[in-house]
Chain A
Amino acid sequence: MMSSFALFIIVLIYLALLFLVAHLAEKKKSKVWINNPYIYALSLAVYCTAWTYYGSIGVAATSGLNYLPIYIGPIMVIPAWIYINTRIVRISRVNKISSLADFISLRYGNSRSFSAIITIVCLLAIVPYIGLQIKAISETFHLVTETPMSKNILTDNATFVVVLIALFSSYYGTKYVDASEKRLGIISAIALESFLKLFFIIILGLFVIYYAFDGFSDIYEKASKFEDFKAKNTFNGIEGAMNWMVLCLISGTAICILPRQFHTAIIENRQEKHIKTAIWFFPLYLLIFTIFIFPIAWGGRLIFEGQNVNPEFYSILIPQHFDNTLITVFVFLGGLSSCISMIIISAITLSIMLSNNLIIPYGLLGKFKSENEVQNTRNITNIRKFSIFALIIMAFGFYKYFILKTSLDSVGLISFVVIGQLAPAFFGALFWRRGTYKGAVIGLLAGLAICYFGLIIPQYYFSYNQELKGVLREMYNAFDFFSISFLSKIPQIFFWSILVNTGLFTIISVSVKGNYRERNFAELYVDIDKYIQNHENAFIWRGTAYVSDIKNILERFLGKNKTEQALRIFNLKYSIDSQTETADSRFIKFSENLLAGRIGTASAKILIEGVTKEDKISLKEVLNILEESKENITLNKKLTEQSDELQKLSDDLRKANESLIIKDHQKDDFLDSVAHELRTPITAIRSAGEILADDDDIPLDIKREFLNNIITESDRLSEIINDILYLDKLEHGEIALNIQQNNILETYKKSVNPLLHLIQQKNIHLSEVNLLNQFIFEYDEARMIQLFQNILGNALKFTDDQGTIQTKLSETKNELTIKIFNTGKTIPEEDLEMIFDKFYQSKNQNILKPTGSGLGLAISKKIVQAQGGNIKAENSGLGVTFTITLPEKIKEIKNEVEHN
């Protein structure tokens, strides 16, 4: 037993918790934990209302398998969300859509009347549904406190709870004047509620299974003794299966179109990838929810068999039966969560529709045009706040006067069927270009009429007035012909209404010529993937418009600063000069988008239309332009690809050209050097020859010296020429390498031997450091000796007397590394790379008489490169180190090179 007061305090604390969560989430918007996909996926569970929480258990206990379709329907559709919802989210994002009414009516030519009709349909469907939630809150409250239901509004505790919910929704739901903004606070609170209701139903399920009974099989065994048990857990033949299937279809459509689902799944979607998480998470959530319904329902029947209790409230009655107040309160709070979250989201999304699609476009646009931003913003939010209260009061009225006696289940299903009437227009918008406004509206109205006469009047009129009389009776009799004997009432009406609705929609659409504007949006909707990047280009508009006029309108809603900012972004995006006076179609669409979130798409269009003059444009023209722009988009793509290719080609060409120029220079330099190098010995030879020829009286020893000079210079000349030829051959790969397994130490010894006496002469200390594990490597020995001699000879030249030359042999990562260090003059840093160029020394040592051909290092480099290795020089400490690296397996590398 729980006192009313205590329970009310608990409810207050619970509501305070929701406020706190919403507040924190709004404050910490950017935090990772608030931005995760599970909050999105959990918020979708606003689908599970009191109908699910209490109603399903009633259905499971009284009519068996029929409790499953409202879950099976959604799980059939959810995997396809990857396609459906991703596209709706994109369409809504680029068009700043803030409600279901906006989404459908924009597609059918951004029609004000259509969006108003949709709003009314939603109100018709959802207000009783909200009433249902209030009913559940009130009934369970009295059930838990074991007090009689109160007829007086002022003493009914549900009244106060509802007022608090209205306050909460109107505060957090209207925080942003732009309705397409994300309301993180509300969504986080809803996600928490979704978690709590699941948590509480799990606790209850475990309580029933393990406390009230001895495990699941105990319930099952006892329940299977009921006479109707087997019948309840099978279909009643084909008829039962048919009914079941239609119910699945009804809820499958509802999960996509219900305004609260559209709001949480589309409008509040922050990132497209969150949909992916929802695709597996939400069915899992529903599965856990549903698994416990079976034991609770049958457990309840076992406990209360023969007593006059409402099976819908087994979940509260069971813990109460066992005097467990804690679990009773838990279950009550779980039910309260389902009710509250449904009421909040429905109230918010319906209030947006009421304000943006009904009140503003039909009543207040003129007023808005003359007021400033602050007043307009205040007015818009006030309209929404007023709408939320109006809706909840309407729902309350509904609960008090119409649905007090009906079950949760039937009200919920009727609401699904009514909302289902939007399905043809909704799915048509996504997949069918040719659907027209006239077809959609007429189909919708016809379907609605069938629902109204077939379901709503009998349901609510009966509950109010019990008996049908007179003309109405006769009318219903006349329609008896259409009743389908094997379907129950709700599937029947769903079948007929959807059949007539879809039939009219499609037939009228194909027989009436569409309006150019709706065809324009049809293309944008169906081909959203193509237009996602520059959707403003896809909007076709022709006429005269001035930026200043439109700016004036924008300022009235956005304020001066925001308008300027938006214009700057627009100009930047399309690289338009800020001084441009006339507005083009892109600017019109851009401005409509800016206004759409605040006053709805239809009103935005009307406002912009007021200051612009649109020229007539035929459907054919629109189609042509769209075709062109589509072609343009693909063409652009192709052109970009081609120009990228061209760019790459020209880059390659430029590089090739640059390297050719460099090579050309090198060749010139080389020729110069060769000429210079050749001239030096020739000059010496010539002058010696001249002296010998001119003067016969030269003493013999001087004559001999001159002759010796001629011989050495000739030797040098032929050495140079040999080296040049050799280098040329190396460069052109004409010298075949003779690669064998050799002992590197022996090769080194062979290279050093001829130099030994020179080394001794200069009194140079030569040493080796051997860090090798093995000495057999693959290389061309003759070339290697040449390489060693070149490097060592070079080192000898620059090492001062009594200096040091040290050779270090080591192995790293399949490489043989040879470092030859000599003390002496260092090489200028900028020349370190150039010393391997041909004739490097001669350029810098012109004053001195050059020794050697000046090609030694160039040849060395070529030799190393030919064997797949690398050589470099660096200044280290007191001298210079040459580092030679050679790969261990030269043969393989060579083979690869040849193959290539």
Chain B
Amino acid sequence: MKKRHEQKLILLSIGLLVAFSIPISLLFNSEKEVFGYPMMLIYVFAIWMISIIISFVIVKKYDE
């Protein structure tokens, strides 16, 4: 894999670190519900799912 595409994955790592840290994580720290479920859980699992999809796409697309 080219260095540039490697760096995309490293950026994803940093992005996840930011997404699960204060203050971003606190934005979703609410008792409100989204789609009928606690906002925090939806947030965590959505980010998780998206990160899997992004990794998958990068790995498959730029595989050499």
Task: Point out residues on A near B: beta carbons under 8 Å.
Answer: 65, 68, 72, 75-80, 82-83, 217, 220, 230, 233-235, 237-238, 240-242, 244-245, 248, 273, 276-277, 279-280, 283-284, 287, 291, 294
Contact = CB atoms under 8 A, between A and B. Distances in A.
A283 B29 CA distance: 23
A244 B23 CA distance: 12
A79 B21 CA distance: 17
Nearest to A294: B41
Given A230-B31, A294-B41, A280 B26 contact: no
Contacts of A77: 13
B22 A234 contact: no
A79 B26 contact: no
Among A76, A230, A240, which residue has the most Cβ atoms of chain B within 10 A? A76
B40 to A, nearest CB: 6
Contacts of A279: 9, 55, 59
29 contacts: A68-B44, A72-B48, A75-B48, A75-B51, A76-B17, A76-B20, A79-B13, A80-B13, A83-B10, A217-B36, A220-B37, A233-B38, A233-B40, A233-B41, A234-B31, A234-B38, A234-B40, A235-B25, A235-B26, A235-B40, A238-B22, A241-B26, A244-B25, A245-B21, A279-B55, A279-B59, A283-B51, A287-B48, A291-B45
A245 to B, nearest CB: 5
Interface residues of B, number: 31
Contact of B1 (A230, A276, A277, A291): A276
Contacts of A277: 59
A217 B37 CA distance: 9
Contacts of A238: 22, 26
A220 B40 CA distance: 15
A276 to B, nearest CB: 5
A245 B30 contact: no
A544 to B, nearest CB: 42
Given A75-B48, A79-B9, A82-B10, A220 B36 contact: yes
A273 B25 CA distance: 33
A244 B20 CA distance: 9
Given A79-B13, A230-B31, A248-B20, 13 more contacts: A68-B44, A76-B17, A79-B55, A82-B10, A83-B6, A233-B38, A234-B30, A235-B40, A241-B29, A279-B9, A279-B59, A283-B51, A287-B49
B16 A287 contact: no
**Complex A-B, nearest 7 residue pairs according to Cβ-Cβ distance, in ascending order:** A80-B13, A233-B38, A280-B56, A79-B9, A280-B55, A79-B12, A76-B16
Contacts of A233: 38, 40-41
A742 B20 CA distance: 78
B59 A276 contact: yes
Among B40, B49, B63, which residue has the most Cβ atoms of chain A within 10 A? B40
Contact of B52 (A72, A220, A273, A287): A287
A353 B63 CA distance: 35
A248 B19 CA distance: 12
B48 A82 contact: no
Contacts of A76: 13, 16-17, 20
Among B36, B40, B55, B63, which residue has the most Cβ atoms of chain A within 10 A? B55
B57 to A, nearest CB: 9
B25 A79 contact: no
B29 A79 contact: no
B32 to A, nearest CB: 10
B59 A280 contact: yes
Nearest to A81: B9
A65 B51 CA distance: 20
A241 B22 contact: yes
